[in-house]
Structures are given as structure tokens and as C-alpha cells.
Amino acid sequence: MSLQINDRLLWPGGKRKALTLSYDDGISQDKRLLELLNKYGVKCTFNLNSGLLGIKGTVSAEKKEVPHNKVEKSETALLYRGHEIACHGRYHESLAGMDRARCVWEILADRQALEEITGQPLTGYAYAFGVCDDNIIMALKNCGIAYARTIESTHRFDIPSDFLKWNPTCHHDDEKLFALTGEFLSDDMYFSLYSPAKLFYVWGHSYEFDQNENWEHIEKFVKQISGREDVFYATNREIYQYVTAYRRLVFSTDSTLVYNPSCISVWLGGAFTKEIAEVKPGQTLRLPEPVNM
């Protein structure tokens, strides 16, 4: 016997699936990617290097050499409208081995410059070259960064326990991408002790579609996963803010009551029931009866 309390996180509206994307470097190929995302109604977080905006170049990374032209500062705010702009380091430097003061400068200068462009506070980040260690994480905290993406694939749909070590599900070129897409879209129960709700996180660089000559690859993925009423399409920031609101809930010791001190509604449910509960801002709510397993 096991009593399963219906206090698990569900996505807004009681949905059990959420999708978020993340693309790095702020490059001209983002324009083509944005056309696809806007066409299908899928949100994305774009991680920019403010000190490199407008600079022209190429990239090969042991593959086909293609343009790596940074978007112009003057077009940035309008170009990424409806999505999220986050930090990626002012000059895309590897912070490995740097003292904390230099890490802070690379991070904080980027944040400040991008905030001047967007006109809003920014608290998101993607690790340049995927480099992440305790020293860098402490620098991020000192700079007010709340969530940061790594490049370590989990091949799962778990909600991160530590948003400063936010591991994505997979890269867009991962051979398992479409198998994972099918698993994500399935209504089969997702086993996780934390929450039955799935979070699918895909990342990459838009120039890679030029290198691999496979723009049809990302369009196939976006088309397949878009337009679903049971999926919450969100930026990294929206995912972080919602999960944070869930983690701020205050439960009574006997698990019968819950209070929501946040300014957004939070939905709760369980793995073995279809019953859901919306806890509105400032509301104290009695939880549904536990399920006896």
C-alpha cells in the first residue's frame, strides 16, 4: 500500500507536456529559424554574445565552413520579439580556469548590455562551450543569473533539480531526436518520482543546418511537435518561472492544504489520476484525496 498525494507539478492548464528550445550565438541563420518557429507557434530562447553583435565571420568546427555572422545590435530586439533573449557571455570566452572576477565581468557585462537592448532584466544564460564548474556557477549567482543551460544530454524529460545545471534532453542533431519526440508526444505515463509532467528541451546552433544542409530536419521536428493542445510551449524563462512558483507553494503538514504565495496560478495533479487542481495566486486550496496504490 502507498498513498500518492496529488501534489505533483503539472504545466499550466493541467498539461503534462512542455517544450522549450535554446539556440546559441545570435547569428544570421537565426532569421530563417525564427521564420519556422513563428510559422508553427513554437517558442525559443536565444543566447547572445553582446560584445560580438554585428561582427562577420565563418565557422567550421571540423565540418563544412559556413557564415557565422552575428546579428546587428539595431535589429536584435525586433528580430527576437516573442521569444527570449538570454546571456551567453560578452565575448563567448571559455571561463574554464578563470578567476571569479574575470568570470563575473564576462557574464555581467553581457547581461547589462543585453538588458539595454531588450529593456528588461535578464536572468538566463547558456555556458559557452558547455564549460560549467563550481567557480563559474558562483560567478553566475553573483551576477543574478537564475538558470543556465549545459550541453549534457539527458535523453529524458525530467524537470531540473538545479536550474544552474540545466541539462537539455538532447541536441537537435541527436540520432534519438525523433524517437524522443514520439515518446514525448505519447500519452503513456512518464515515470518520475518528482512529477509525471514531461519537459522536452532541445538545443543547438542554427548555423549547423547550413553545415549539414538539413534545414528540412528542424522543420520536420517543429512541424511534428507543434500545434498540440496538450503541450505547453515556453521559453526557458517561462519554464523557470513556473517551476519556481510551484516550488514556492506552502503545504500543510498533513498534505491536505496548499497555499500559493506567487502571482501566477499553479496546477497540481498526480501520476495515477486525471484529477487536477489549480491553485490561484494568494489562494489556499484543499488538495484532492490521495490515491491508494
What's the pLDDT at 273?
82
Q: Which domain holds residue 114?
A: 17-245
Domain-located, residue 12: no
136-189 pLDDT, tens digit each: 999 999 999 999 999 999 999 999 999 999 999 999 999 999 999 999 999 998
Q: What residue has cell string 518520475? A: 192
What's the pLDDT at 1?
54
The answer to whether residue 32 scores a pLDDT higher than 90 is yes
Domain-located, residue 186: yes
Are the C-beta atoms of residues 148 and 167 closer than 8 Å to each other?
Answer: no
| One-letter amino acid for residue 129 of the chain | F
What's the pLDDT at 23?
98
What's the pLDDT at 293?
67
Domain-located, residue 283: no
The answer to whether residue 4 scores a pLDDT higher than 90 is no
Report the DSSP beta bridge partners of residue 67.
Answer: 58
What's the pLDDT at 149?
98
Mean pLDDT of the chain: 96
Gap between the Cα atoms of 192 and 76, Å rounded: 39
The domain spanning residue 181 has which CATH number?
A: 3.20.20.370
Which three cell numbers, joined as nine digits, stand for 27?
Answer: 547569428
CA distances from 15 to 143, 158, 204 (A): 33, 15, 26
Gap between the Cα atoms of 169 and 182, Å rounded: 13
54-95 pLDDT, tens digit each: 999 999 988 999 999 999 999 999 999 999 999 999 999 999
CA distances from 247 to 27, 62, 168, 250 (A): 35, 43, 20, 8
